[in-house]
Structure 1
Amino acid sequence: MPTLKRVRECGHSVILIAPNWPGQLWLAEIMQLLVDQPWSLPLRRDLLSQARREIFHPAPDKVALWAWPVRG
């Protein structure tokens, strides 16, 4: 994942918003850079929207977004 590569190479500290999908290779990479407990984002209809909040994701519950505090 290019974002994680840049975090690692540049020593950045970020809160990465990404799904918590066990079994994904990039999730193992996130775990290696984790510096604190991740937390789940609240399930809201407007969590993922576009077009100035006129179009919403059809199934935000399937995405399972989490905030991952990581440091390179």
Structure 2
Amino acid sequence: MANSQTDLSTAVWRKSSYSNGDGGNCVEVSDNLPGIVPVRDSKDPHGPAIIFPAAAWSSFVTAVKDTGFPGI
């Protein structure tokens, strides 16, 4: 599993389709790194990223698409 020493220098970031368009609540994800999916706040691109195992992120995205969450 990834830790604070994970090298994200090759991460290709994209804004989540669930982010709003006014520059407020913007989440970016990178899905080009084997086995992990880092997630960060686009307003703080040099700040920390939360790193999820790819399978866990996939399960989360599927759950959001299938059931949604209030307010999304």
Normalising by structure 1, we get a TM-score of 0.25
- Between structure 1 and structure 2, the one with the greater Rg is 1
Q: Which has the higher contact order (CA 8 A, sep 6+)?
A: 1
The structure where helix makes up a greater share of residues is 1
